[in-house]
Structure 1
Amino acid sequence: MPPQPPSHLPRLHDKTALITGASSGIGRAIAIAYASHGTKLVVCADLRPDAHGNANTPEDKEKTHDLINKRYGEGRAVFVRCDVAEARGWEEVVSEAVRRAGRLDVLVNNAGVGEHNYPRLHLMDEAIWDKTMAVNARGVFLGCKYALVQFLKQPPHPSGDRGWIINIASTFGINGFTGGHGPYCASKAACLNLSKSIALDYAADKIHCNAICPGFTQSAMTEATFKDEAANAGRLAATPWGRWGRPEEIAAAAVFLASEDSSFVTGVGLPVDGGYLAM
């Protein structure tokens, strides 16, 4: 008989994860991927639970937490409303995760904003800057803060680690981009460098903090861009892989960074971009 492959627990066995912006796009894909890898509980945090964006199948229209519970068993996911720019919302969503599961192991700061066809900076209303920074930078700061408070006061995970933070940054946080994207680029650079700073400050506490830098990825937020013929052609020309990324491909990286497979990984900004940054 040929040798049998070793038996392994699911990669996120018994972990509790909190994911913001979980109702659609990348956040939804991460929530579903985490449940498929054995999480004890996925807390789906968003302003509303309804799925939005492309709906090609009846399941695409289902709320993320409902879909997880249907696929993987009742009680495996819950929706909690959270405005990530407000500290009160973070206190409540972290408390709810701990109330239901006893601890929090993984935070994914995914919620973000970024509009299509902003004007150039000298014509831009200050409200655009304020909104973008409130969600994409302040929201990440608050999420990290309240997750760190919980990580530090709970017993370590069986691996010895106290927690995993994954912040969804962007290739635009490494390189700039034309077309009125200044606030978005600035906010994602803040997200990326905050991740590195946290990784250094909390390494001794065995808390991982990493960022993922997606390239051009099809989601509800980018729908207007990939449906715009000229904008779509520009994105494809800038991507060596020759296509848009899929939310599931970002989710695969988020699974790795929340698992023991990344036991010696912290402080990275991992591009998942079809070669865009290599150009």
Structure 2
Amino acid sequence: MSDATASAPAHSILQKFQLTGKKALVTGSATGLGAAIAIALAEAGAAVACHGNRRAAKETADTINSAGGQAFAFSADLSHTASAQVLVDHAVEALGQIDILVNNAGMITRHEAVEFPLDDWATVLQVNLTSVFQLSQLAGKAMIERGVGKIINIASLLSFQGGIRVPAYAASKGGVAQLTKALANEWAPRGVQVNAIAPGYMRTENTSALQADETRNRQILERIPTGRWGEPEDLAAAAVFLASPASNYITGAVLNVDGGWLAR
């Protein structure tokens, strides 16, 4: 889609960031961070399967296609264990194979820990962690057979911090970070890099209430060394890097894209 690297010298470092000919599946890409990641991968040259949990990510796919890229839209409810296989099958049918998997789909449910319903616990763990393992396992098997592949998991600041009233989310995102390292250890010798990105406070619809709350917005910005909310494009750029050959010697990493929040 983009001409940014088209004129780069054949041996330019920019060539290592190109994804021309690659096929990517991005879960949870109907809106927000996932949509930004899907669009960025397409701009770098990848064909993209865009997934929505409740509805197909048609708007994201349309944005990519209208800009001259190639994208397909699918829906699959990842709160059901059978959906991962269905989604991978659809993506492979459309793309031919999956070279890049971005496990972005997730959910959050808030309750006091002492009252947290087990049904909600199970649903959050299924969507945020178990489906990540399922999709990685399904896509990773073919990547291992080809001897090349990239898996990017979206972790969280709560992969490192406990949060308040979100025990299931914190547990699931802590699990994502550890799963990333476990898969990286096993699959690196087979040519597959597995990494994660931990976003900080990002400017999306999901955080609009926090941004509108004058007190909370001020408290958040005071804690972030860069003094601003992250933009979806900040995360998307990190995803392109981890999806590209430029990151071939990076695996098992959890990259914080948080404006310095965790360093504070």
Whether the 8 Å contact between 1:16 and 1:97 is mirrored in structure 2 is no
Contact 2:103–2:153 under 8 Å retained in 1:
yes
- In the alignment, structure 1 segments of 5+ residues that lack a partner are 52-61, 157-161
| Alpha-carbon separation, structure 2, partners of 1:98 and 1:124 | 38
The corresponding residue for 1:30 is 37
Q: How many angstroms apart in 2 are the aligned matches of 1:243 and 1:167? A: 24
Q: Within 5 A, what are the aligned runs for 1:180-195?
A: 180-195=165-180
Deviation at 1:108, TM superposition (A): 0.3
Q: For residue 102 of structure 1, what is the aligned residue in structure 2?
A: 96
Within the candidate set 19, 23, 27, 1:16 is matched to 23
Which amino acid in the other structure matches residue 253 of structure 1? A
Match of 1:169 in 2: 155
Secondary structure of the residue aligned to 2:205 is: coil
1:128 corresponds to: 120
Residue of 144, 150, 170 corresponding to 1:152: 144
What's the RMSD between the two structures over aligned residues? 2.0
Instruction: Quote the offset at 1:171 in angstroms.
Output: 1.5
8 Å contact from structure 1 (residues 84, 142) kept in 2: no
SS in 2 for 1:122: helix
TM-score by length of 1: 0.85
Residues 1:47 and 2:53 are matched in the alignment: yes
CA shift for structure 1 position 125: 2.9
How many residue pairs end up in the alignment?
254
Contact persistence 1:23–1:48 (CA under 8 A): no
1:272 and 2:257 are equivalent in the alignment = yes
**Contact residue 72 and residue 94 of structure 2 kept, 8 A:** no
Tell whether the 8 Å contact from 1:20 to 1:27 is kept in structure 2 after alignment: yes
Could you list the runs of 4 or more consecutive aligned residues of structure 1 that deviate by over 3 angstroms after TM superposition?
7-10, 48-51
Matches within 5 A, 1:80-119: 80-115=74-109, 118-119=110-111
The corresponding residue for 2:240 is: 255
Instruction: Give the Cα separation in 2 of the matches to 1:145 and 1:224.
Output: 36
1:198 corresponds, among 167, 177, 183, to: 183
SS at match of 2:144: helix
The structural deviation recorded for 1:77 is 0.3
Report SS of the residue matched to 1:164.
strand
- Compare 144-153 and 121-130 and name the one that shifted more: 121-130
Retained in 1: the 8 A contact 2:50–2:56?
no
Instruction: Give the drift of 1:100.
Output: 2.5
TM-fit CA distance, 1:50:
6.6
Residues 65-85 of structure 1: CA distance to partner in whole angstroms, max 9, x if unpaired? Answer: 011100124xx0001111223
The SS at the match of 1:267 is coil
Given that 2:152 and 2:195 are in contact with CA atoms closer than 8 Å, whether structure 1 keeps it comes out as yes
Shift of 1:271: 0.2
**Structure 1 residues 275 and 209 mapped into 2: Cα distance closer, same or farther (>3 Å)?**
same
CA drift of 1:140 comes to: 1.0
The structure carrying a bigger helix percent of its residues is 2
Q: Residue type matched to 2:188 in 1?
A: A
Separation in 1, partners of 2:205, 2:154: 15
- Spell out, residue by residue over 1:131-155, the C-alpha distance to the aligned partner (whole angstroms, 9 max, x if none): 22121111211111111122234x3
Given the two structures, how large is their TM-score scaled by the length of structure 2? 0.89
Identity fraction in percent: 38
Q: For residues 119 and 103 of structure 1, do their structure 2 counterparts lie closer, same or farther at Cα, with a shift above 3 Å needed?
A: closer
1:233-259 deviation line (CA, Å, top 9, x unaligned): 222222111111111100100000000
